[in-house]
Amino acid sequence: MQETRGRVTKDGIRIYEDADFAGMRAAGRVAAEILDMMCPLVVPGVSTAALDDFIREEIGRRGVVSATIGYKGYQHASCISVNHVVCHGIPGTKVLADGDILNIDVTVIVDGWFGDTSRMYVAGAAPRKAERLIEVTYESLMRGIQAVKPGNTFGDIGYAIQAYVEANRMSVVRDFCGHGLGRVFHAPPNVLHYGRPGKGAVLEEGMFFTIEPMVNLGRPETKTLSDDWTAVTRDKSLSAQFEHSIGVTATGCEIFTLSPADKFFHTA
Ligand code: MF3
Ligand code: CO
Ligand code: CO
Closest CA to ligand 1's atom 11: 88
Q: Per-residue pLDDT for the chain (268 aa), expressed as one digit of tens each?
A: 556 667 999 999 999 999 999 999 999 999 999 999 999 999 999 999 999 999 999 999 999 999 999 999 999 999 999 999 999 999 999 999 999 999 999 999 999 999 999 999 999 999 999 999 999 999 999 999 999 999 999 999 999 999 999 999 999 999 999 999 999 999 999 999 999 999 999 999 999 999 999 999 999 999 999 999 999 999 999 999 999 999 999 999 999 999 998 876 533 3
The response to whether residue 68 sits with its C-beta less than 6 Å from ligand 1 reads yes
Instruction: Give the 3-state secondary structure of 144-155.
Output: HHHCCCCCCEHH
Ligand nearest to the Cα of 211, by number: 2
- Residues of 188-198 as b/e, b for ≥16 C-beta within 10 angstroms? bbebbbbbeee
Q: Which atom of ligand 1 is nearest to the CA of 210?
A: 4
pTM of the model: 0.97
Q: Which atom of ligand 1 is nearest to the CA of 79?
A: 12
DSSP state string for 121-170: EESS---HHHHHHHHHHHHHHHHHHHT-STT-BHHHHHHHHHHHHHHTT-
Q: For a substitution probing ligand 1, which of 78, 90, 105, 245 has the most ligand atoms within 8 Å of its CB?
A: 105
The response to whether residue 74 sits with its C-beta less than 6 Å from ligand 1 reads yes
Q: From ligand 3's centre to the CA of 256, what distance in Å?
A: 13
